[in-house]
Amino acid sequence: MAQFRSLEHALKHFFGYDTFRPGQRQIVEQALQNQDLLVVMPTGGGKSLCFQLPALLKPGLTVVVSPLIALMQDQVEALQDNGIGATFLNSSISWAQVRSREEAILAGRVKLLYVAPERLLGEKFLPFLDLVKHQIGISRLAIDEAHCVSEWGHDFRPEYRQLQQLRQRYPNVPTIALTATATSRVREDISQQLALRQPTIHIASFNRPNLYYEVRPKHKQSYSELLQQIRTTDGSGIIYCLSRKKVDELAFRLKQDGVKVLPYHAGLSDEERSSNQTRFLRDDVQIMVATIAFGMGINKPDVRFVIHYDLPRNIESYYQEAGRSGRDGEPARCTIFFNYGDIKTIEFLIDQKSDEQEQRIARQQLRRVIDYAEGTDCRRTIQLSYFGERFAGNCGNCDNCCHPKPQEDWTIEAQKFLSCVARCKERFGINYIIDVLRGAKNQKIAQNGHQELSTYGIGKDKSADEWKMLARSLLHQNLVEQTADGYSVLKLNDLSWQILRRQREVYLAVPAQQTPTLEYRDRAEAEVEMLLQRLRSLRKQLADSQGVAPYVVFADSTLKLMAQQRPQTLSEFGKISGVGDYKLAQYGDIFLREIQGYCQEHGLTAQPAVKNKSITPQPTYTQLNTLELYRQGFTVEEIAEKRNVRVTTIVNHLCELIEINQLVDITQMVSPERQLHILEAIKAVGADVLKPIYTHLGEQISYEEIKLVRSWWRQQNRR
């Protein structure tokens, strides 16, 4: 510790980061004081650093217990790539390798040792640990994925139970347990099973602010929406499907369309699965289409989107699966494609379960998922309430907050629907009623003579999907009922009759037509983008030559900063967040050369980093929200109205965005001639105060326009 002025200094030295994530600093401090700790943080929260940094600052070896070989290997590679002495022992390595690693440990060249729980308690290993303790000391035990110790969790591993013995053998070695599981039951279990001594418990919020959550209707065009998202996203994505068959079909179709994609499901051989996973981690392919078999152990930090092409089974698994995106804290998108047909499929699967209790739980969970999918509240509020966390809503980063669905009056349609149910004598299900309403000509209707009903064909003006949406919503709002005998026959209740008697109105949240967001690119952004592509391919080359994943070399966010700031010297390069001293020495020259070469070819200069701090300010969610609408072509006034704020607020958002280098096409609001006038005025009277510019322009141009152009001018002149 003595060699570092502060913890921040040590953080930058070893990991290249400028600041701690929420909670990390306090945990590190307490770890340095040898306290027992229980850390509950969502995926991507930055748990590993909580024991890695203390391990580097303390004498002795930190022993990390981790359940998955792949995870272990990843973490060790990432540490080694930061020049940190780390290694692992598990069943995948040879006896000779074990020997040489043990020697390195005893020679004090290793600060972090990762082991699988079953090895830890092996006959030979404990005596070895005794030796380590005696010769160089054990600074701490870190139990990763600690929920594996609990039968109440979803990943129970009996080997974890034996960790208690380890605690008994080394009672004075402080322990840290880490998990992303949110329930209190599991938390208590961990504390007890691992015999933690008066542990300090850190529970981080489960909110993942960088994830954008949305639910989209699934229909015929969904595949092209999917394809478009893949093609317009720079980075990896996971697409979850319900069955192996669907995985194979979708992967095949995407491949036909030129997407680099691989499948992952339990029907593939072990080798295929592990090779597909590695190729995904290393960015050889962009997309993984998978069943939920593709799960824990995917700690690829730069997954940019997770799509559920079929409905997830329950909220907790949805949270975890979607949470595999954006672990690096950069924006990522989580989409569910939802239609009512999927519910039937899942219900069918539930019916296959033999245990009645299990069936009941599964049905209840499905209900919650449907509530989520149909919900019109902030998606975060719904998700977090599931974990008992209160969230105020209005997150500004989910579809319901960004594009609130208009409530429409569907009373007349509801009357048509319910009266059709009544006329069919409450003996049929949704699909049949819709057929009658839409005037279908089929045998069943003919047999029942229902083409004679007064409600036959009165619903042709709406599509079958729209009628289904209404029916679901009626069920959902308890305005009609459905039998639970497997036939799902519709039955009217008191509320249905109130509607029929015009004593009650029906409102529906109608999904807005989603306009796909097309990124507007100006020249500056295109330059950053092109340089970024080159840095990416350099990164890939270096990663391949070392047989590691690209993110091990540098994170996406770090590459982005390089492309934006275009450092020209090693010292500038070293200031970029994500560049620690070791990486600076290892990669500095080669990346600098690439950047300089690019600048020369394109006649560009450096883009000096923001003064004092090397962090580029990131837009806030409310700003991003504005930007998204703006890019969709809404005017400032429309955005103000939608978001229920003043026009000046929106203009201010745009100005701030421009000044932190976000792409905003101001021509949309200020014509090129007016831009020129404003620029001339700025030249004449300076940019500090608005009034003189306004006066200079003969009070002919609005303050809003001046502000926007001034921000653009400032941003240009900062380079």
- What are the residues binding ligand ADP (CB under 6 A)? 17, 20-21, 24, 41, 43-49, 299, 301, 327-328, 555
CA distance 240 to 385: 24
Task: Choose among 521, 344, 557: nearest CA to 431.
Answer: 344
Rounded to a whole number of angstroms, the minimum distance from the CB of residue 47 to ligand ADP is: 3
Task: Give the amino acid at 14.
Answer: F
Task: Output 30 or 48, the one with its CB closest to ligand ADP.
Answer: 48
Task: Choose among 237, 373, 376, 359: nearest CA to 310.
Answer: 373
Angle, alpha carbons 319-320-326 (nearest 5°): 90
Task: Output 8 or 159, the one with its CB closest to ligand ADP.
Answer: 8
Residue 43 binds which entry of ligand ADP, Zn ion, none, CB below 5-8 Å type-dependent? ligand ADP
Residues 6+ apart with CB under 8 A from 298: 238, 277, 281, 324
Residue 621 binds which entry of ligand ADP, Zn ion, none, CB below 5-8 Å type-dependent? none
CA distance 275 to 281: 10
Tokens linked to 93:
């390595």
3-state secondary structure (DSSP) of residue 407: strand
Rounded to a whole number of angstroms, the minimum distance from the CB of residue 378 to Zn ion is: 3
Measured CA distances, 437 to 364, 420, 425 (Å): 31, 7, 14
CB 392 within 8 A of CB 187: no
Rounded to a whole number of angstroms, the minimum distance from the CB of residue 155 to ligand ADP is: 15
| Parallel/antiparallel/unpaired status of strands 112-115 and 61-65 | parallel
CA distance 626 to 619: 11
CB 408 within 8 A of CB 441: no
Task: Output 138 or 378, the one with its CB closest to Zn ion.
Answer: 378
Residue 318 binds which entry of ligand ADP, Zn ion, none, CB below 5-8 Å type-dependent? none
CA distance 36 to 38: 7
Rounded to a whole number of angstroms, the minimum distance from the CB of residue 302 to ligand ADP is: 8
Angle, alpha carbons 78-79-80 (nearest 5°): 95
3-state secondary structure (DSSP) of residue 337: strand
Rounded to a whole number of angstroms, the minimum distance from the CB of residue 565 to ligand ADP is: 17
| Parallel/antiparallel/unpaired status of strands 481-482 and 490-491 | antiparallel
Instruction: Check residue 49 for interaction with Zn ion (CB under 5 A).
Output: no
Q: Which stretch binds Zn ion (CB under 5 A): 79-87, 375-383, 529-537, 542-550?
A: 375-383
Residue 398 binds which entry of ligand ADP, Zn ion, none, CB below 5-8 Å type-dependent? Zn ion
Residues pairing with 482 in the sheet: 490
CA distance 335 to 648: 32
Rounded to a whole number of angstroms, the minimum distance from the CB of residue 178 to ligand ADP is: 7
Residue 378 binds which entry of ligand ADP, Zn ion, none, CB below 5-8 Å type-dependent? Zn ion
Task: Output 401 or 420, the one with its CB closest to Zn ion.
Answer: 401
Measured CA distances, 79 to 2, 98, 145, 254 (Å): 22, 19, 19, 35
Task: Output 82 or 229, the one with its CB closest to ligand ADP.
Answer: 82
Task: Output 143 or 242, the one with its CB closest to ligand ADP.
Answer: 143
In what helix (H) or strand (E) does residue 27 lie, and over which residues does it extend?
Answer: helix 24-32
CA–chain centroid gap for 258, Å, is: 25
CA distance 480 to 472: 9
Residue 327 binds which entry of ligand ADP, Zn ion, none, CB below 5-8 Å type-dependent? ligand ADP
Rounded to a whole number of angstroms, the minimum distance from the CB of residue 194 to ligand ADP is: 18
Residues from 390 through 449 that contact Zn ion (CB under 5 A): 395, 398, 401
Task: Output 327 or 575, the one with its CB closest to ligand ADP.
Answer: 327
Task: Output 81 or 328, the one with its CB closest to ligand ADP.
Answer: 328
Rounded to a whole number of angstroms, the minimum distance from the CB of residue 295 to ligand ADP is: 13
Residue 239 binds which entry of Zn ion, ligand ADP, none, CB below 5-8 Å type-dependent? none
Rounded to a whole number of angstroms, the minimum distance from the CB of residue 31 to ligand ADP is: 14
Rounded to a whole number of angstroms, the minimum distance from the CB of residue 614 to ligand ADP is: 13
Residue 301 binds which entry of ligand ADP, Zn ion, none, CB below 5-8 Å type-dependent? ligand ADP
Residue 664 binds which entry of Zn ion, ligand ADP, none, CB below 5-8 Å type-dependent? none
Residue 539 binds which entry of Zn ion, ligand ADP, none, CB below 5-8 Å type-dependent? none
CA distance 195 to 173: 12
Task: Output 20 or 391, the one with its CB closest to ligand ADP.
Answer: 20
Task: Output 129 or 182, the one with its CB closest to ligand ADP.
Answer: 182
CB 279 within 8 A of CB 262: yes
Task: Output 296 or 647, the one with its CB closest to ligand ADP.
Answer: 296
Residue 48 binds which entry of Zn ion, ligand ADP, none, CB below 5-8 Å type-dependent? ligand ADP
Phi, psi of 338 (to 5 degrees): -125, 130
Interacting residue with Zn ion among 146, 378, 474, 508 (CB under 5 A): 378
Residue 215 binds which entry of Zn ion, ligand ADP, none, CB below 5-8 Å type-dependent? none
Residues pairing with 88 in the sheet: 114
In what helix (H) or strand (E) does residue 527 lie, and over which residues does it extend?
Answer: helix 523-546
Rounded to a whole number of angstroms, the minimum distance from the CB of residue 144 to ligand ADP is: 8
Task: Output 480 or 561, the one with its CB closest to ligand ADP.
Answer: 561
Rounded to a whole number of angstroms, the minimum distance from the CB of residue 459 to Zn ion is: 34
Task: Output 11 or 470, the one with its CB closest to ligand ADP.
Answer: 11
Rounded to a whole number of angstroms, the minimum distance from the CB of residue 359 to ligand ADP is: 33
List the end-to-end C-alpha distance of the chain, in Å, as a whole number. 38
Residue 20 binds which entry of Zn ion, ligand ADP, none, CB below 5-8 Å type-dependent? ligand ADP
CA distance 51 to 457: 67
Tokens linked to 712:
């653009």
CA distance 515 to 526: 23
Q: Which stretch binds Zn ion (CB under 5 A): 132-140, 144-152, 387-395, 550-558?
A: 387-395
Residue 401 binds which entry of Zn ion, ligand ADP, none, CB below 5-8 Å type-dependent? Zn ion
Rounded to a whole number of angstroms, the minimum distance from the CB of residue 617 to ligand ADP is: 15
SS (H, E, C) 695-714: HHCCCCCCHHHHHHHHHHHH
CB 142 within 8 A of CB 176: yes
Task: Output 113 or 402, the one with its CB closest to Zn ion.
Answer: 402
Q: Which residues bind Zn ion (CB under 5 A)?
A: 378, 380, 395, 398, 401
